[in-house]
Amino acid sequence: FKVLNVAEKNDAAKRISDILSGHQYQVRNGLSRFNKIYEFNYYMLGQNCSISFTSLSGHLLNYDFTGIYRKCHGCLYPMLFNTVIFGFITRVSLQRTLEREVRNSQALVIWTDCDREGENIGFEIINICRNIKSNIPVYRARFSEITDRSIKSACNNLQQPDQRVSDAVDVRQELDLRIGAAFTRFQTLRLQKVFPNTLADKLISYGSCQFPTLGFVVERYKAREQFQPEDFWKIEVVHTITQNEADGPITSTFSWKRNRLFNELACQVLYANCETPVVATVTNVSSRPRSRWRPLAMDTVELEKLASRKLRINAKETMKIAESLYTQGYISYPRTETNSFPKDFNLERLVQEQTSHPDWGGFASRLLGLNGGPQPRNGHKSDQAHPPIHPTKAAPHLTGNNARIYELITRHFLACCHRDAKGQETSVEIEVGGESFSVQGLMIIERNYLEVYHYDRWNGKIIAVYEIGDQFEPTDVRMTSGRTTAPSHTEADLISLMDKHGIGTDATHAEHIETIKQRMYVGLTNDQRFLPGELGMGLVEGYDLMGYAMSRPELRAELEADLRRICDGTANKNDVLQRHISTY
């Protein structure tokens, strides 16, 4: 009984074959030299099977218009929304490999990534194979990590592919083609006519995800440009005292309860009351427990933001590295919207994998010894497909940015499973010259997750001991000044906006950001802030002046919501397609 298995990439096919065969597979060439065929025997579908395992290189199928509609000057733009489109195979060698292999197979198992795109690629494989053998049984392997446990469990629990999820991708692909082609041709030809010397040979592309992404950059840039920094003034009270010779002098800096004033003269009047020889009186002393929360379980958006902020690695490079770590079996599937571990998830096994690591192995061992064991801080999001991102095995030999991304994921996972940091905060309030000031001291009692998660900072702060009614002469009373600063706009900020407004998915944020950079619609400053180029700014403002808010996120967010409804079975594929075509 021969079973044809197909993965999304050759690396995944090789790794899964290695697991299932116990390192005993044979290799032969397919019709593409990049996609090998791995052969071995394995117990599957209730019997001993002869396994052939091959792969694709992403999508096999692409879409385009026919005849005159393929030409930039061939038709009126609105016609592109209704004319026929056709699908064509982009890698004929891979198609022929599938056709050849399925002829001698009695079953087909799909091993593509378990997300929307992977499901759609799976149906591309199914359609090619069923054109050759129409009645071949088809199964879907569902897994979130390429480890022995997960892959063998997927083999034992084969399911049916989900047509609805694939339909959602079909709708997205068709709309992207029709909308992108119509508006790309419109703005390219229009702007080439207006600016023949500078744009004569330039394609000015439009995409319903890339344009709102560009809109966020332009909007934040305008906010920064229009931002008027304001001078402000504030008063501080400093008290230095030696209460214990062993501790030496302790300096406490009291902050003004008014925080700051934007009127210098008003601040000077209040400062004069505090500056004259006066006595500070302690009006209140309170103490309360404080906690610093450990991080939530990691989803894709959080990985991209943390890598950008903490490691200075952009989202595209982060996801490329994460995909590689996943394929090698070091981490779970990195494209997930889930930030909550299931209750029956075996966290102890994953923590145990880390106990031998020289940097965080001791922390992992102590985590296993805690009363109750690992207890993750869970969020409220789940894509019902994959768990949060986590390490699946130790990776002692990684180097460079691969090691840094793996370390971030591992430390985040261990921190998430530990306990919140605990401290005791003492707050002291004083009155000087009729003005109120306060200072907070912090004693950290249990560092807990902070021991492993050095991306967070929570430092203790020692202040002198005060009691209500105490009076003292301040060491210094000073008036300081500052200026308000404009909002930042880093890649992490942009990803947050895209996630908040539903532009793209966790799997495509990095791709859309990279597109507007490659199109020269935006650039990056030396301090890694986004800056719109002249063309990017002109496109957004041009549509705004015409009364078409093409850069606003609502249009794409509505589509993303409808795609989710197709996946859930609460919306019809054709209804969604026609509704969004009519909108544009």
Q: Encode pLDDT of 500-512 as tens digits.
A: 888 887 778 888 9
The mean predicted confidence, pLDDT, of the chain is 92
Average pLDDT of the residues in 298-313: 94
122-131, 242-251, 267-276, 388-397 — which is least confidently predicted?
Answer: 242-251
Helix (H, G, I), strand (E, B) or coil at 11: helix
Q: What is the gyration radius of the CA atoms in the chain, in angstroms?
A: 30
Q: Which of 330, 345, 351 is nearest to 393 (CA)?
A: 330
Task: Return the pLDDT at 74.
Answer: 66
The contacts found for 573-577 with CB under 8 angstroms, 24 or more apart, are 573/167, 573/168, 573/170, 573/171, 576/171, 577/171, 577/174, 577/175
What pTM does this model have? 0.82
* CATH, domain range 2-161: 3.40.50.140
Chain-centre distance of CA 561, in angstroms? Answer: 18
Tokens 């309030």 -> residue: 429
pLDDT tens digits along 484-498: 998 878 888 999 998
CA dist 257 and 429 (Å) reads 9
Helix (H, G, I), strand (E, B) or coil at 334: coil
**Cβ atoms 455, 416 nearer than 8 A:** no
pLDDT tens digits along 423-445: 999 999 999 999 999 999 998 99
Task: Return the pLDDT at 233.
Answer: 97
CA dist 299 and 87 (Å) reads 34
Task: Return the pLDDT at 475.
Answer: 93
CA dist 367 and 351 (Å) reads 8
Query: In the 8-state DSSP scheme, what is residue 115?
Result: S
Class of domain 167-226+488-583: mainly alpha
Query: In the 8-state DSSP scheme, what is residue 389?
Result: B
Close Cβ partners of 406 (under 8 Å, ≥ 6 residues apart): 325, 330, 331, 391, 395, 398
pLDDT tens digits along 36-81: 999 999 999 999 999 999 999 989 999 999 888 888 776 777 889 9
**Cβ atoms 498, 291 nearer than 8 A:** no
Which candidate in 139, 206, 333, 466 is catalytic? Answer: 333
Q: Which of 530, 526, 529, 546 is nearest to 538 (CA)?
A: 546
Chain-centre distance of CA 310, in angstroms? Answer: 14
Tell whether the model's pLDDT for residue 182 goes beyond 80.
yes
* Residue 336 burial (C-beta neighbours within 10 Å; 0-12, 13-18, 19+): buried
* Residue 150 burial (C-beta neighbours within 10 Å; 0-12, 13-18, 19+): buried
Task: Return the pLDDT at 234.
Answer: 96
Query: In the 8-state DSSP scheme, what is residue 159?
Result: B
Fold designation for 231-294+421-483: Topoisomerase I; domain 3 (2.70.20)
**Cβ atoms 523, 471 nearer than 8 A:** no
Average pLDDT of the residues in 105-109: 97
Tokens 């005993």 -> residue: 24
Average pLDDT of the residues in 207-231: 91
**Cβ atoms 340, 378 nearer than 8 A:** yes
Fold designation for 300-417: Topoisomerase I; domain 4 (1.10.290)
Known catalytic membership, residue 206: no
Close Cβ partners of 355 (under 8 Å, ≥ 6 residues apart): 361, 364, 365, 368
Q: Which residue has the higher pLDDT, 505 or 389?
A: 389
Could you tell me the residue ranges of all domains in the chain?
2-161, 167-226+488-583, 231-294+421-483, 300-417
CA angle 167, 579, 63 (to 5 degrees): 45
Cα separation of the two ends of the chain: 51
What is the layout of strands, in order, in the sheet containing 138-140? 26-28, 37-44, 47-55, 2-7, 107-111, 138-140
